Amino acid sequence: DEGDLAAGKEVYMVNCVPCHGQLGEGVVGPNITDEYWIHVGEIADLVHTINVGVPEKGMISWAPILSKKQMQQVASYILTLQGTNPPNAK
């Protein structure tokens, strides 16, 4: 719902922007607006990736920092970025 998406956006802006960019374009982390995701097929996959991280790529586990609900909210928000094609995307 809209409340969860707003909460997810807030979590994203605080925690994800340094690596994935304000628009999901990718900075040191990958672009999360395109169709070339490696670790995600469905929302459960995205929540799992947020939960355990991708240590070999430098993404930490967010389990000590975010609640399960926050992970679900931010995952839902991230999915809204799919196909937005921001300028200067990786």
Cα distance between residue 66 and residue 72, in whole Å: 10
- 41: pLDDT confidence band, cut at 50, 70 and 90? confident
| Domain spans, the chain | 2-80
In order, the DSSP letters of 5-46 are HHHHHHHHHHHTHHHH-TTS--SSSPPSSSS--SS-SSHHHH
- 39: pLDDT confidence band, cut at 50, 70 and 90? confident
pLDDT tens profile 3-34:
999 999 999 999 999 999 999 999 999 999 99
Give, in words, the CATH class of 2-80: mainly alpha
pLDDT tens profile 44-63:
999 999 999 999 999 999 99
Rounded to two decimals, the pTM is 0.93
